[in-house]
Amino acid sequence: MKYTYYPGCTLRTKAKDLDAYAKASAKALGFELEEVTQWQCCGGVYPLGSDEIATKLSSVRVLNEAKEKGQDLVTLCSACHHVIKRVNDDMKNVPDIQSRANNYMKLPEPYKGETNVLHFLEVLRDRVGFDNLKKMVTNPLTGKKIGAYYGCLLLRPGEILAFDNPENPTIIEDFIKAIGATPVVYPYRNECCGGYISLKEKDMAKSMCDTIVESAKGFGAEMLITACPLCMYNLNKNTVGDVPVYYFTELLAEALGVKEDAE
Amino acid sequence: MQRLIDRAKELLASGEVARVLGWKKGDLGFNPEPSYFETAESLDNDFVYDGFCGANLSKYMIEASKKDGKTLVFLKPCDTYSFNQLIKEHRVDREKAYIIGVGCKGKLDIEAIKAMGVKGILEVSGADINSDCETLTVKTLYGDKEVSYNDAMLERCHVCKGKEHQICDEVMLDSRDTKDAERFAEIEKIEAMSPMEKFEFFKKELSKCIRCNACRNVCPACSCRKCVFDSNKFDEATKANVDSFEEKMFHIIRAFHVAGRCTDCGECSRVCPQGIPLHLFNRKFIKDIDTFYGEFQAGEDSETKGPLTAFTFDDVEPSIVTERG
Amino acid sequence: MSMNNEFKPKIVAFCCNWCSYAGADLAGSSRLQYPADVKIIRVPCSCRVNPMFILRAFEKGADGVIMCGCHPGDCHYSTGNYYARRRMTLLFSMLEYLGIENGRTRVEWVSAAEGVKFSTTMNEFVDKIRSLGENVRLGDLRCKD
Amino acid sequence: MSHGANKADKIKEISGVNPLKCMKCGKCSATCPAFDEMDIKPHQFVSYVVNDDIEALASSKSLWKCLSCFACIERCPRSVQPGKLIDAARQLVVREKGADYLKADEIPELLDEELPQQLLVSAFRRYRR
Amino acid sequence: MQRIGVFVCHCGSNIAATVDVKKVVEIISQEPSVVHCEDYQYMCSEAGQAKILDAVKEKNLSGIVVCSCSPRMHEGTFRKAAERAGLNPYMVEIANIREHCSWIHKDMEEATEKAVILARAAIAKVNLNAPLFPGESRVTKRALVIGGGIAGIQTALDIADAGYEVDIVEKTPSIGGRMSQLDKTFPTLDCSACILTPKMVEAAAHEKINIYTYSEVDKVTGFVGDFTVDIRKKARSVDMDKCTGCGVCQEKCPSKKTPSEFNRGLNNRSAIYTPFAQAIPNVPVIDRDACIKFKTGKCGLCEKVCQAGAINYDQVDEIVTEKYGAIVVATGFDTIKLDNYDEYAYNQSKDVITSLELERVMNAAGPTKGHLERLSDGKHPEHIVFVQCVGSRCNDNRGKSYCSKICCMYTAKHAMLIRDKYPDVKVTVFYIDVRTPGKNFDEFYRRAVEEYGVNYIKGQVGKVAPQPDGSLLVQASDLLDNKQIKMKADMVVLATAIEPEASVRGIATMLTASIDTNNFLTESHAKLRPVESPTAGIFLSGVCQGPKDIPETVAQAGAAAVKAIGLLAKDKLLTNPCTAKSDELLCNGCSVCANVCPYGAISYEVVQVNDHGIREDRRVARVNNALCQGCGACTVACPSGAMDLQGFSNRQIIAEVDAICR
């Protein structure tokens, strides 16, 4: 099985791990991530004005490439996933954006939201299956108590992202169970870490990250996992650091026994 | 053909049937017409069954059903669908009919031969039902010409529904498979046109109509005692007015009235003196019915409810028409 | 408000007595505006609407015809709108096949409680007909000269 | 019409939000993680737009404190989604030249080793034109 | 040609403010066949009707057009006026220039022009009207009530007291409904069971009332006065005649792990069970999905312990077919599922409960025997937070757009009861608005605040976060203080929106009763006919029509009963004369009309006809006027136009089309 894969800017720089572990794990799980030929940055944020078109085009380009290849598009970074999934929804359901974007793009065939956008976690859940994943785990992380940190971008707006129940998600918990560890459910796993605000408002980000980590710790989490490089940065940077934060792909690679392959 | 005459005479003589409904020779060699035969002599003299006997005799059975005694009727495979449909609608009496299902090797269209540029036609041979029906020899004022039998066939024979009789008491004579085209190909071609092209196409065709009512008179589904276009049930009966609603919409409404009942026998197109391909209306409805509600062939039996008198809870919405673009 | 030379379409709306006519009444008592171009004809059920009525309207100069009935499953007569649905689907498909702009006809299911839907539907439909302009083609179908 | 009213219309247009749908339940403010940092609270955004007081909104601190975490958008029971209004207001401000909240020359001192690209990109998108 | 009189109503200013009625009169007077035209302030008034009478006499009118409000309002009024004037009532047509014109248009010129066109269409129709005469149909003097809650019980009692037979169909094993689940009722704090149980007993003992519990309506045919209903009596597996209600079977049943429906799943019940102690009938049912005997074939303990020999594992569903003249729907409500509201942690914490669950917790027969305690650990709570409007007043696809109406009051009740019984417990209520329209309602709410010290905070809760110590952190806004509040609570109670019972949709379809987008049954007129469905003979009782509290439900139940009694008291009903009619000279006898008739009203017979001198026997369609309801499906199916609908004939409708398009 081959998927078109969109890494995004951060995975090429500060979050190389997230990417490398994902690729190694994919190989072990029997699917391939075929990188988009000439990708550009997704923009990091979904263009907020309904009148913006130009900032959506890089996502459309990626989506269209996947469509031409007849493949599903897989993303890893929460921000990229959020942006591309929402742009895809616009292209499918908002006639005005669809026609204006297509006017710019001048594609041989107009793009109308045909591509299926999947987060890597969704591939694990819906394509590989957590039951199958469990069977392929060679090095289960038994005994580890792990808190899932979802953040905001993967879950909301729930109607469009349709990733999981935005108020009580379970996908990462199910993932944690599949790799043999014990999930720790805590209420702030879907609250914001502060995001980009930490660039200028460090204190604010700090208090938000503290709430999250304290809550996780209170319920017994020994570590947190995330899919988002920005969450990773904030949780590391803005807390005392007694609860380590990992990319979920790192633990996946470890459980599958391919961690070294990635390094 | 002689076998048909012999068998008819036999049934007449035994009193099994009171009359015979068949085709009688026309004034030319290629224009036979439906006729009753009540004596052996008339059968010997006038009865004919060849490639030009396209006329569907089912509808005549409505009147024949009112007569005393049974009527022997010859029905080609495609005609039997119409007969079944008429039974379903209580328009003919099965008990009053003795049906001989006759074989069919495709029926000919003299207009098709003329359209090949053959002029001054005097006679056409090779249309005999017993011949191999591959080549026709056309005798003209300007000498003999050979044309392919298939090329001279009616449109409907190219999309033949099959050579099996849906209802009959006995089968006589052999048939030949003539289907060599897709039934809905013409419809699809029109569907693929732009709205303006469609409009121009139908406008051109319908403008030829002279409202002679030949299509209505021949159609086995148009069997109303009095057509709505002739009654005052919807409007004052003002037939002469070319500008009236009926004049413009006649063909659409006619097609709608027979939708779900039309067996696609093709008689309307065959008899149209202006050569309007009227079957394109009926067949469009058939295609839509097949697509929207599942395949349905009117006259396949005499019981099933027609698609316009049935429904399912999850039928498509009318907006499907707008949505498909 | 409107300019004198603005195109004023003629629009006929067939509404069933039990749901959509009541829905139109509710739109009225809720003061939900829609253009005066729409004129409603009350029929007992959407299954009373003969395709001949629709064609007649077009022949007499209507620019759009809309039929409203109870939602499928909610017909006052149990099954009327199911028959109407098939009839209208086939008729609309035929009109489209003849090259008539397919936005000139519409079916919408409007319940007695859906005054808002009634008014929204009528506004949309009038907009659509305005965008299509005058109905030339249907009237033109068999003009010999 | 006043200049403010035009801006209010622009905000409604950009955000696609009808502020009149708000029933003033305060669930947005109950939800907002940046509530304490804000001078104009999320549930108040609506009335600023309705009352055409866009200048106050544009000069508020709240514009730059909103995290775009979509919590208010997710939980708003009336589909008003104040987060969209604040985003639209921010758009209005950054589209006006010179109103950038983040100046290029202040960036270097804000950077550190691990700071991911993503952060810069999104901050730029939000703070600048 | 008819001699038509046209009357244009001002409806005060309702019409006249937007439609220039004088101009309408001026234009319409010129129409051919119009011999009289006038306008009047209120046509529906006595004086207005008198104008019709006078004009009919003076001008010898044969037809009448009234340009006024919707025919659904006053068609009957004007038909009666015409009848008094000696005309056939069906010679009247209404041009709806209010709901369909003056109320929806602003521009006077436009509205006037439209009013003229609508009048012309009505005139065109009247020109083709013919006198019609209604037939008669009989009335079965028996009523069916669907639903055995307080609404259904009250309706049944009222109908039965008037002397008519009533059947109640209740789908659960006992009558009683939601009210039987409540602990106390507002605004007087009566014990719910204490006031409900006597009613249940009275209904069960009433000689005119027959109760089918554990039963459902399977099929409904017929029409007002003459419905035929199939009732499915689900297999109870217990013989109603033999069971003594001793309860031993329930005690001994080894399968005790099924969540109790009555206690909202807060505790478990046995597989053989009666929902609650006061159940009527006091005969248990076997839940076959939970019963070990039915699942494995082994067990049979209940049969062994039953001294009455009432257990019968071989019982099967039984269909009872009954005839009714009237049907009352009283199907009630349920609370919505909270799966869309996980920010309130309902699915994450046992200590977050709905208000209906709190009723069970507070009830002595409930899962905690009436002790207020946390369901997670049984601890006594120190602080309880109530959240209002959970799923009500939403337009976001998650909840319901309407106000559930009862929550403000029951929350005040809960708060008060808790503070009364446990003065140590702190109670906070987060509200958006407190709505207390009702007798003694606001006083009741104020008592909660003033006498019981319940802390009401204006603002909604955004998140409930379970804490490691087992408490709940409630994050909310205080709009009046412009603050975001974070407070610890031990229990959170959600005032969950109510919605019509799920089965009502299928019932509405069977009854062809109209239903709105929220699944509430639609009333015939929002103000003037609030307990009648637009479908004749169907009446609405209780919350199936819209949110209601108990007093309102009981009031409406009585009103529905009166309407049903009014119907049952008649011996005959006049039938709608707008029925189909076949022209035998045109009929082909093709059966297509009978194929689409939903009432089986069309049959065929062979008759001798004289068709312009031709005499022959023909198979022709015959319409049974008592069965035909006048939908018109047959008229369109008929290809020859032989079948037509009286009052809505092809010619009439085409005349309207022509008038509109001219």
Cis bond upstream, residue A157 (ω within 30): yes
Of B200, B201, B249, the CB nearest to C59: B249
Of A167, A219, A220, the CB nearest to E342: A167
What is the largest distance, in Å, between two alpha-carbon atoms of chain C?
49
pLDDT of C16 > 50? The answer is yes
Q: CA nearest E650 in B: which residue?
A: B234
Q: Give pLDDT tens digits for E198-223.
A: 999 999 999 999 999 999 999 998 88
pLDDT of E445 > 80? The answer is yes
Please check whether residue E55 is in contact with residue E29, taking contact to mean a CB–CB distance below 8 angstroms: no
Instruction: Give the tokens for residue B129.
Output: 């039902």
The DSSP 8-state label assigned to residue A144 in this structure reads -
Please check whether residue E169 is in contact with residue E216, taking contact to mean a CB–CB distance below 8 angstroms: yes
Band of the pLDDT at A222, cuts 50, 70, 90? very high
Tell me the average pLDDT of chain B: 90
The proportion of chain B whose per-residue pLDDT surpasses 70, expressed as a percent, equals: 95
CA nearest neighbour of A202 among D126, D98, D115, E475 = D115
Of B245, B308, B313, the CB nearest to C56: B245
The domain total for chain B is: 2
- C-alpha A79/C-alpha B118 separation (Å) is 76
- C-alpha E183/C-alpha E358 separation (Å) is 9
Q: For position C142, what pLDDT does the model report?
A: 43
Contact B227/E640, CB-based, under 8 Å? yes
Average pLDDT of the segment spanning B216-239: 83
β-sheet bridge partners, residue E323: E228
- B93 with B19, same domain: the answer is yes
- C-alpha C59/C-alpha E578 separation (Å) is 28
Residues from chain E contacting residue D79 (CB–CB below 8 Å): 395-396
- C-alpha B252/C-alpha B320 separation (Å) is 20
- B204 with B303, same domain: the answer is yes
CATH architecture of A2-120: Up-down Bundle (1.20)
* Segment holding B22, helix H or strand E: strand B19-24
CATH number at residue C30: 3.40.50
pLDDT of E629 > 70? The answer is yes
- B177 with B41, same domain: the answer is yes
pLDDT of C143 > 50? The answer is no
* Domain containing residue C104: 11-139
User: Does E contact B via 3+ CB–CB distances below 8 Å?
Assistant: yes
- C-alpha E38/C-alpha E40 separation (Å) is 7
Q: CA nearest C75 in B: which residue?
A: B313
Strands, sheet with E483-489, edge to edge from the N-terminal-most edge strand = E461-466, E472-478, E483-489
pLDDT of E275 > 80? The answer is yes
Chains that touch B (3 or more CB pairs under 8 A): C, E
Q: For position E543, what pLDDT does the model report?
A: 98
Residues from chain D contacting residue E463 (CB–CB below 8 Å): 30-31
Average pLDDT of the segment spanning E466-476: 96
- B135: burial class by Cβ within 10 Å (0-12, 13-18, 19+)? middle
Contact D69/A191, CB-based, under 8 Å? yes
Q: For position B240, what pLDDT does the model report?
A: 46
Chain Cα centroid distance, residue E252:
41
Does some domain include residue B116? no
Does some domain include residue B44? yes
Band of the pLDDT at E306, cuts 50, 70, 90? very high
pLDDT of E277 > 80? The answer is yes
- C-alpha C86/C-alpha C92 separation (Å) is 10
Contact A50/D126, CB-based, under 8 Å? no
∠ CA B308-B311-B313, rounded to 5°:
155
- B235 with B88, same domain: the answer is no
Q: Give pLDDT tens digits for E400-433.
A: 999 999 999 999 999 999 999 999 999 999 999 9
Q: How many CB pairs under 8 A join B and C?
A: 121
Q: Give pLDDT tens digits for B267-307.
A: 999 999 999 999 999 999 999 999 999 999 999 998 888 99
D31 in reach of chain E (CB within 8 A) = yes
Per-residue CA distances from A11 to A5, A7, A8, A230, E546 (Å):
12, 6, 6, 11, 55
- C-alpha E432/C-alpha E416 separation (Å) is 19
Pairing of strands A2-6, A73-75: parallel
Q: For position D129, what pLDDT does the model report?
A: 57
E592 in reach of chain C (CB within 8 A) = no
- B168 with B225, same domain: the answer is no
Q: Where are the alpha helices (DSSP H) in chain B?
A: 2-14, 40-46, 60-64, 77-88, 110-115, 155-158, 185-191, 195-207, 214-218, 245-258, 267-271, 279-293, 319-323
Domains annotated for chain D, with CATH where assigned, are: 3-96 (1.10.1060.10), 102-129 (no CATH)
Average pLDDT of the segment spanning A7-14: 84
Instruction: Give the tokens for residue E399.
Output: 């909840």
Q: For position B250, what pLDDT does the model report?
A: 85
Mutation pick from B226, B236, B250, B253 vs chain E, by most beta carbons of E within 10 Å, is B226
Q: For position A1, what pLDDT does the model report?
A: 86
Q: For position E129, what pLDDT does the model report?
A: 95
Q: Give pLDDT tens digits for B22-69.
A: 999 988 888 999 999 999 999 999 999 999 999 999 999 999 999 999
Does some domain include residue C3? no
The domain total for chain C is: 1
pLDDT of C4 > 70? The answer is no
Contact C99/B202, CB-based, under 8 Å? yes
Output the DSSP codes for E66-114. Answer: EEES-HHHHHHHHHHHHHHTTS-GGGEEEEE-IIIIITT---HHHHHHH
pLDDT of E607 > 80? The answer is yes
Report helix, strand or coil for E58. Answer: helix
Contact A49/D91, CB-based, under 8 Å? yes
* Segment holding E335, helix H or strand E: strand E333-335
CA nearest neighbour of E210 among E150, E121, E145 = E145
* Residues contacting D113, CB < 8 A, separation 6+: none
Contact E640/B235, CB-based, under 8 Å? no
Lowest mean pLDDT among A248-252, B125-129, E283-287: B125-129
Residues in C whose CB is inside 8 Å of some CB of B read 51-52, 55-56, 59-60, 72-73, 79, 82-83, 85-94, 96-103, 105-107, 137, 139-144
- B270 with B172, same domain: the answer is no
The number of CA neighbours under 13 Å toward the Cβ of B1 is 19
β-sheet bridge partners, residue E8: E39, E67
Phi-psi region for residue B253, left (φ > 0), alpha (ψ -120 to 50) or beta?
alpha
- B233 with B167, same domain: the answer is no
pLDDT of E34 > 90? The answer is yes
* Residues contacting E379, CB < 8 A, separation 6+: E373, E490
The length of chain B is 325
Q: For position B236, what pLDDT does the model report?
A: 67
Q: For position A41, what pLDDT does the model report?
A: 83
- B303 with B205, same domain: the answer is yes
Q: Which amino acid is at E113?
A: E
- B290 with B201, same domain: the answer is yes
pLDDT of E97 > 70? The answer is yes
Residues from chain E contacting residue A166 (CB–CB below 8 Å): 342
Report helix, strand or coil for E406. Answer: coil
User: Which is more confidently placed, E131 or C61?
Assistant: E131
Single out the residue in B136, B153, B181 at which a domain terminates: B181
The proportion of chain A whose per-residue pLDDT surpasses 70, expressed as a percent, equals: 99
Band of the pLDDT at B205, cuts 50, 70, 90? confident
Q: For position B125, what pLDDT does the model report?
A: 87
Q: Give pLDDT tens digits for A34-53.
A: 998 878 888 888 876 777 78
Contact B203/C101, CB-based, under 8 Å? no
Instruction: Give the tokens for residue B139.
Output: 């005798």
D119 in reach of chain A (CB within 8 A) = yes
Contact E650/C10, CB-based, under 8 Å? no
Band of the pLDDT at D121, cuts 50, 70, 90? confident
Per-residue CA distances from D83 to B262, D58, D86 (Å):
61, 14, 5
Residues from chain A contacting residue E473 (CB–CB below 8 Å): 187
Average pLDDT of the segment spanning D49-55: 91
Instruction: Give the tokens for residue E374.
Output: 């946390």
Q: How far is A190 from chain E (nearest CA, A)?
A: 10
Backbone angles phi, psi at A234, to 5 degrees: -65, -45
- C-alpha B234/C-alpha B251 separation (Å) is 16
Residues from chain E contacting residue C39 (CB–CB below 8 Å): 114, 117-118, 121, 660
Please check whether residue E215 is in contact with residue E234, taking contact to mean a CB–CB distance below 8 angstroms: yes
Q: How far is E26 from chain C (nearest CA, A)?
A: 20
Band of the pLDDT at A180, cuts 50, 70, 90? very high
Cis bond upstream, residue C9 (ω within 30): no
* Domain containing residue B88: 1-108+161-181
Pairing of strands E491-496, E483-489: unpaired
Report helix, strand or coil for C69. Answer: strand
Chain Cα centroid distance, residue A208:
21
Residues in B whose CB is inside 8 Å of some CB of E read 66, 88-91, 223-228, 231-235, 257-258, 305-306, 308-310
* Residues contacting E45, CB < 8 A, separation 6+: none
Q: For position D98, what pLDDT does the model report?
A: 56
Residues in E whose CB is inside 8 Å of some CB of D read 343, 389, 393-396, 398-399, 432, 458-463, 475-479, 482, 484-485
pLDDT of A192 > 60? The answer is yes
Contact D28/E462, CB-based, under 8 Å? yes
Q: CA nearest D102 in A: which residue?
A: A200
Please check whether residue C42 is in contact with residue E646, taking contact to mean a CB–CB distance below 8 angstroms: no
Highest-scoring range by mean pLDDT, A12-26, A195-209, C123-137, E158-172: E158-172
Instruction: Report domain extents, chain A.
Output: 2-120, 130-262
Q: Which amino acid is at A123?
A: V
pLDDT of A23 > 60? The answer is yes
The proportion of chain E whose per-residue pLDDT surpasses 90, expressed as a percent, equals: 92
- B102 with B191, same domain: the answer is no
Please check whether residue E128 is in contact with residue E40, taking contact to mean a CB–CB distance below 8 angstroms: no
pLDDT of E652 > 70? The answer is yes
Band of the pLDDT at D100, cuts 50, 70, 90? low
Single out the residue in B122, B153, B181 at which a domain terminates: B181
Lowest mean pLDDT among E95-109, E470-484, E500-514: E500-514
Q: Give pLDDT tens digits for E348-393.
A: 999 999 999 999 999 999 999 999 999 999 999 999 999 999 999 9
Q: 3.30.70.1230, 3.40.718.10, 3.40.50.150, 3.40.50.11810: which CATH number matches A130-262?
A: 3.40.50.11810
Instruction: Give the tokens for residue D77.
Output: 């029971």
Lowest mean pLDDT among A109-123, B220-234, E229-243, E381-395: B220-234
Of E111, E512, E660, the CB nearest to C39: E660
- B90 with B196, same domain: the answer is no
- B4 with B83, same domain: the answer is yes
Positive or negative, the CA dihedral E397, E398, E400, E403 is: negative
Domains annotated for chain E, with CATH where assigned, are: 4-127 (3.40.50), 142-234+317-332+501-568 (3.50.50.60), 248-305 (no CATH), 334-499 (3.50.50.60), 580-646 (3.30.70.3270)
Contact E106/C83, CB-based, under 8 Å? no
β-sheet bridge partners, residue B171: B101
Residue that is written with structure tokens 């048939």 in the block: B175
D119 in reach of chain E (CB within 8 A) = no
Please check whether residue E4 is in contact with residue E33, taking contact to mean a CB–CB distance below 8 angstroms: yes
Q: CA nearest E398 in A: which residue?
A: A159
